Chain A
Amino acid sequence: MAATSAESRAREIFTTLEYGPAPESHACALAWLDTQDRCLSHYVNGKWLKPEHRNSVPCQDPITGENLASCLLAEAEDVATAAEAARTALEDWRGLPGASRAKHLTRLAKMIQKHQRLLWTLESLVTGRAVREVRDRDVPLAQQLLQYHAIQAHTQEEALAGWEPMGVVGLIMPPTFSFLEMMWRICPALAVGCTVVVLVPPASPTPLLLAQLAGELGQFPGILNVLSGPAALGPVLASQPGVQKVAFCGAVEEGRALRRTLAGVGPELGLALGTESLLLLTEAADVDSAVEGVVDAAWSDRSPGGLRLLIQESLWDETMRRLMVRMARLRGGRGLDGAVDMGARGAAAHDLAQLYVREARSQGAQVFQAGDVPLESPFFPPTLVSDLPPASPCTQAEVPWPLVVAAPFRTAKEALALANGTPRGGSASVWSERLGQALELGYGLRMGTVWINAHSLRDPAVPTGGCKESGSSWHGGPDGLYEYLRPLGTPARLPYLSEHLNYDTFGLAVPSTLPAGPETGPSPAPPYGLFVGGRFQAPGARSSRPIQDSHSKVHGYVAEGGAKDIRGAVEAAHQAAPGWVSQPPGARAALLWALAAALERREPTLVLGLERHGVEPKTAKAEVELSVRRLRAWGARAQAQSHSLQVAELRGPVLRLREPLGVLAIVCPDEWPLLAFVSLLAPALAYGNTVVLVPSGTCPIPALEVCQDMATLLPAGLVSVVTGDRDHLARCLALHQDVQALWYFGSAQGSQFVEWASAGNLKPVWVSRGCPRAWDQEAEGAGPELELRAARTKALWLPMGD
C-alpha cells in the first residue's frame, strides 16, 4: 500500500529531520509549449513568425536532457523582417504622448502578473536556475521595472525635454542569461519611445513568451520582436536600416570582437560585459553577515558569474572556517525544487567551472568543495579556491559560476590596489562596520556598483553598469534611459563604413615636413613645443609642422608630436589625476574661472590669431567671449553632481555618484579652433578628469596660447596639449590601453579607426563620424550630452539600520 510507505517514511523523517523534495509543478510551462506544438519560432510584429526551410535546434531540460521543444534558427531574412516590423511600429510608438506609453507598459506589467506562474516555471525549467530565485525575485522585479519605467515615460515630456528616442534598438543576449537581463534593457527602450528587436540565443523560450504577452495586448504589436538565432547574426541585426543602437551583453571577448566588427557601422554600441563580482571583507566586518553576502553573490543563483573574495589577512582563518561550514549547508538540485539554493546551468557552465578548478589545482591552489549537491553533471558544487596569487595565470581569467576565489590582503589601501588592479569594473561589495573605512573603500573602488555591507541588491531606480572591460552601458535609473535617447534634432545615424580602411596602417606614419618659408605669425610668438606635464617641451621626433593662415602663408611652426609624446602626456595625466580628483568641486570651479579670466585678458591676441585664419573680426570676438562664458558655466555646473536615490526594500540611500572617467583624450575638431577646444576641455575638467588634447589641426595656435595660462594656473600634467598629425595622434591615443576614454571629432575614417581600436581596453569613445557640430549652439556646444559623457556613474548602496 502506497499510504503505508508514506507513513513509515514520516517515522523515518521524524528521526533524521532531513529535507524532502519540494517540487514546483511545471505543467503550465509544458502546456504552453504544447500550444506551440513544441516548436518555437520567432515572435515578430505581434504574431509568431514561422519561416520554412530553417534549421532547428532542440530546447532541452538542462538537467534531465529531455527534449522540450525544437527551436527554429533565424536567418538574415528573418532579421530583416523583424527590423522592418520594429521600424514600422516606431512611427506610432515614438509619436505617442509619454502618458500613453506609460499606460501600455503598465498593462504589460499586469499581463506578467496574470501569468507569473507560467513565467517562472518556464524560466526555471529551461535555464535550470532555482525557481525560488526566479519566483521571489526576478518576476516581481520584472513588474517593478515596467512600473518604474512607466512612470519615467509618463514624465518624459518634462523630465527629458531636449531628448528624443534613438529609434530601433537591437538587443543581443548571451547564451545563458536570465529573462530579467532582457527586461532591464527593453523597459527603458520602450519607455522612451524606441522599439526593439531582441536576438536571443536558440532555445530560450522565456523571451518569446514575454514577447507574446506584449503582443497580446493588441495595440502596437511591433514594438517588441524576439528572434532566436546564433550570435553571428548580431552584425546583420546592426546593419539593418533604422537600427540606431545595439546593446550587447555577454562575454568580454565576444564584446570586443563585436566592437571591432561594428566600427563604422551605423548604430551606437552599448556593451555590458563579464559576470565576475568582487567582495571585500575587512577586519571590521560582521563576518557571519559577510559570509551570507558571499552566498548571495555566488551560491544562490542570483548572479550569473563567480566571485573574487578579498579577505583581510588578520581575519583569514576565521572567515575560511565560517565559509566552509556555511558551504556544507548549501543545497543544490533541480531548479524546479523550491528548497534548493542552486540549480544547474547546463553542461557548458559545468565544464567551464571544471576547467577552472583543474587549472587552479595544477597551479597549486587549494580547492574546497562542499554542499548537498548531486554529483553528476551538470550540477557543480559550491567551490572555494584559495592560494592563487595574482601572478598565477588562472587569476587573469574571469572567475566562473559557482566559484569563489579567495585571496588575502593586509591593509585597506592594498585591498583597493588589488581590487582595482584587474580589468574588470562591474560590481563589488565592501564589508566593514566602520563608516569611514567603508566609504573610503566604496568611493575608491573603480566599479559601476558598490554595495556597503550587502551584495547583489537591485532596484529599477538604481543604474547598473560598469567601467573598464565591463563595458560602459547602463541599465536602470536615469542612466538607463539616456542609453536610448539622443539630443533633440540629432540626425539619424547612418553607416559611414569605409571598407578600404586599413586598420594596420591608418595614421601609422607621419608625413615628413620641410621648412616651408618664413614665419609671419604674431609677435611675440607663442612658445614653441608640446604642452606636456605643465610646460612646453620639445617633441620626441624633433621635427615641426608648418601652420598656414587663410592666405596660405606660413603662420608659424608647431611641434610634431608622436607616440612617445602621447606616452609622456598620458603618464603626466595619470600622475596629476589623484590630486585633481580629490579637489572639491568648488576648487575645480575656481580654477576654471581663473582660466576664464586669463582668457579674457588674452582676448586681443586670440582674436588676432583667429582673424589670421579667415574668421571675421566680429565672429572672432564672439568666439573668444563665448569660450570665456563656457568655462565659467562649466565651473558653476561642477558644483552639483551627485544625488541620492530612494529605493524600495532598502532603508538608507543609494548614491548616484558621478565620477571622473580618468585620463580622457580629446581630439578637437578643425573648426572653431578655440571654442571647440574650450567647450570640450571645460566639462572634462569640471568632472575631475585629467585631459590629453589634440587641438585643431589647421589652427592650433589659439589652443597653444591658452596653454600659456594653463602652465601658470593648473597643476602640472592636468592638461596636456599635443600638436601634430591628427591621424597619427588619434591612432596613438586610441590604441593606448591606459587612456580611459576618448572623444574624437574629425574624419569619418578616423572615427571608424577609433571605434575599432577602442576594443583594446574597451574605453568609451565618442566620435563625430565626420559630421560637423554647431559648437556655438548651446545644445551641441554645452548641452547635457557633454555632461553625460564627461563622467561615469557609480551607484553606491548604503543600507542603514541598527
Chain B
Amino acid sequence: MSAHNPGTELDLSWISKMQVNQPAVLRRAQQVQARRPVKKEWQAAWLLKAVTFIDLTTLSGDDTYSNIQRLCYKAKYPIREDLLKALNMHDKGVTTAAVCVYPARVCDAVKALQAASCSIPVASVATGFPAGQTHLKTRLEEIRLAVEDGATEIDVVINRTLVLTGQWEALYDEVRQFRKACGKAHLKTILATGELGSLTNVYKASMIAMMAGSDFIKTSTGKETVNATFPVAIVMLRAIRDYFWKTGNKVGFKPAGGIRSAKDSLAWLSLVKEELGDEWLTPGLFRIGASTLLSDIERQIYHHVTGRYAAYHDLPMC
C-alpha cells in the first residue's frame, strides 16, 4: 500500500462551482467500454493483473470461520498453480490484494491468513456498514476495534444524510475523525454513490472525502440497488485527478458491487488507465471489490491456457 493521503484543509471552493453533465458522462461511459478491447496474451496478462487488484470479499450474515478460511486460501491461491506455470507467472506472487470481511470476522481472517503464512492485508468494513445510520461514537469505536483485531484497511461508509442535505463541513469532520481512528490503517471511504442522488453530488462527496484524508474512495457497499457503474466511476476518477493536480497526493479508487465477469474487469482496468494513467494501476491505488469475479477470471485463464472451456469442477471453489 502506498503512503497515506494526508488530506488538506477543507476548501469548499473546490466543489462549489462543479457541475457534472450526466448525459455526457453516460456517453463517455458507453464509449470507454468499447474502445480498448484486449485480446490473447494481453488479455491473460491483464486478467492476472486484475486478480492482484481484487479485495476478495465476503459480507454475509452467515459468515463463519470455515468460509472465511476458504476465502483466505483462495486469496492466496487465486489461480490454479498449473495454469500460472503454463503462463510462466507462478513466481510472480499472484494473490488478491486483500480480503474484506465484517468487523466481527477480522480475527478469523487474520488467524486463517497467519495459518497460511501469508501477508495479504485484511480489510474490514466499519462505521455501521452498510447504512451508516448509527451514532458517530459507535462508528468510531467500531473502527478502533477492527484495527485492534488486526485489520490494516478500513472500509468506512459515509453518512449519506450529510451529502443529501449539503452539510459538507460536517461530512469533512466525520471523515477526519474516521481517519484519526484508523491510526496506521488505511482509510477507504465508501460513498454509496447509488444513494447520492446525482453525479454532481458524487463529485463533491469524493472531493470532501479526499480532503479529509481518505486513502481510497470506493463506489458502493454492494448493498445498494445501484452499485459500481461506469458513469459514477468516471466522475470519481476525474475527482481523483483534480485532487492530485491540486495537492500532489494520489488517492486510490475502488469500485465494488456488481463486478462479476472477467470482461467487466478488463473494462475497469482500461477505464482507470485511460482516465488516470498507468501509475494508478497498482494495488496501492486501485482495487476491485468482488467475490464471484475471481472464479470467472480463473475460468478465462483456463480457457486461454488450455483452449477449452472449464467444467464447473475443474476449478477449486472458494
A interface residues with partner B (beta carbon < 8 Å): 6-14, 17-22, 132, 136, 284-286, 288-290, 292-293, 296, 329, 338-339, 341, 431, 433, 453-454, 650-652, 799-802
Contacts and interface: CB of A to CB of B under 8 A. Distances in A.
A292 B41 contact: no
Interface in B25-42: 25-28, 31, 34-42
A286 B48 CA distance: 36
20 contacts: A7-B86, A7-B87, A11-B45, A11-B89, A13-B41, A19-B36, A20-B41, A22-B38, A284-B19, A286-B21, A289-B20, A290-B24, A292-B24, A292-B31, A339-B36, A339-B38, A431-B21, A453-B23, A651-B23, A802-B199
A800 B274 CA distance: 26
Given A17-B273, A296-B27, A339-B38, 16 more contacts: A6-B41, A10-B87, A14-B92, A17-B278, A20-B39, A20-B40, A132-B34, A132-B35, A286-B21, A286-B24, A289-B21, A289-B25, A290-B24, A338-B37, A339-B36, A431-B21
B122 to A, nearest CB: 25
B39 A17 contact: no
A11 B91 CA distance: 10
A339 B35 contact: yes
B22 interface: yes
A13 B87 CA distance: 12
Nearest to B234: A288
Contact of A292 (B27, B42, B49, B277): B27
B176 interface: no
Q: Which of B35, B40, B199, B238 has the most CB of A within 10 A?
A: B35
Interface residues of B, number: 39
B89 A22 contact: no
A724 to B, nearest CB: 55
Contacts of B28: 289, 292
A433 B19 contact: yes
A474 B83 CA distance: 59
Nearest to B19: A433
Contacts of A12: 45
B88 interface: yes
B88 A8 contact: yes
Interface in B249-292: 269, 273-274, 277-278, 281
A14 B49 CA distance: 6
B117 to A, nearest CB: 24
Given A329-B274, A341-B35, A14 B23 contact: no
Nearest to A3: B86
Contacts of B168: none
Contact of A453 (B21, B198, B273): B21
B23 A800 contact: yes
B293 interface: no
B46 interface: yes
Give the interface centre of B21, B199, B238, B273 by most chain A CB atoms within 10 Å.
Answer: B21
A801 B89 contact: no
Given A132-B35, A288-B238, A329-B274, A433 B21 contact: yes
A12 B89 CA distance: 10
Interface string B223-240: 000000000000000100
Nearest to B197: A802
A650 B35 CA distance: 20
B44 interface: yes
A521 B278 CA distance: 89
B44 A10 contact: yes
Interface in B190-214: 198-199
Contacts of A19: 36, 38, 42
A623 B45 CA distance: 84
B86 A802 contact: no
B19, B26, B278 — which one has the most chain A CB atoms within 10 A of its CB?
B19
Given A13-B46, A14-B92, A454 B39 contact: no
A370 to B, nearest CB: 13
A54 B194 CA distance: 66
Q: A14, A296, A651, A801: which has the most chain B beta carbons within 10 Å?
A: A14
A219 B41 CA distance: 49
Among A13, A338, A800, the most chain B Cβ lie within 10 Å of the Cβ of A13
A100 B44 CA distance: 52
Nearest to A21: B39
Contacts of B89: 10-11, 14
A339 B37 contact: yes
Nearest to B92: A14
Nearest to A290: B24
Contacts of B25: 286, 289
B242 to A, nearest CB: 9
A132 B35 CA distance: 7
Of all A-B residue pairs in the complex, the 10 with the closest CB atoms, nearest first, are: A20-B42, A289-B24, A13-B45, A433-B19, A801-B22, A799-B23, A286-B21, A801-B23, A10-B45, A14-B45
Q: Which of A19, A285, A329 has the most CB of B within 10 A?
A: A19
A800 B19 CA distance: 14
A475 B251 CA distance: 49
Contacts of B41: 6-7, 9-10, 13, 20
Contacts of B44: 10
Contacts of A801: 22-23, 26
Contacts of B37: 22, 338-339
B45 A454 contact: no
Contacts of A454: 23-24, 27
A184 to B, nearest CB: 22
Nearest to A652: B23
A454 B25 CA distance: 10
Contacts of A18: 42
A286 B25 CA distance: 10
B222 to A, nearest CB: 24
A301 to B, nearest CB: 11
Contacts of A800: 23
Interface in B132-186: none
Nearest to B305: A7
Contacts of A292: 24, 27-28, 31
Contacts of A293: 24
Contacts of A132: 34-35
Nearest to B231: A801
Given A14-B49, A292-B24, A22 B39 contact: yes
Contacts of B199: 802
A609 B35 CA distance: 73
Contacts of A341: 35
A433 B22 CA distance: 10
Contacts of B34: 132, 136
A620 B81 CA distance: 102
A334 to B, nearest CB: 14
A324 B27 CA distance: 21
B47 to A, nearest CB: 10
B88 A802 contact: no
Nearest to B200: A802
A18 B278 CA distance: 9
A648 to B, nearest CB: 14
A453 B273 CA distance: 25
A453 B44 CA distance: 38
Nearest to A283: B17
A654 to B, nearest CB: 13
B30 to A, nearest CB: 9
A736 to B, nearest CB: 41
A6 B44 CA distance: 10
A17 B269 contact: yes
A95 to B, nearest CB: 44
Contacts of B42: 13, 18-20
A8 B19 CA distance: 46
Nearest to A289: B24
Contacts of B40: 6, 20
A339 B44 CA distance: 17
A341 B48 CA distance: 26
A650 B24 CA distance: 11
Given A6-B41, A289-B25, A800-B23, A11 B88 contact: yes
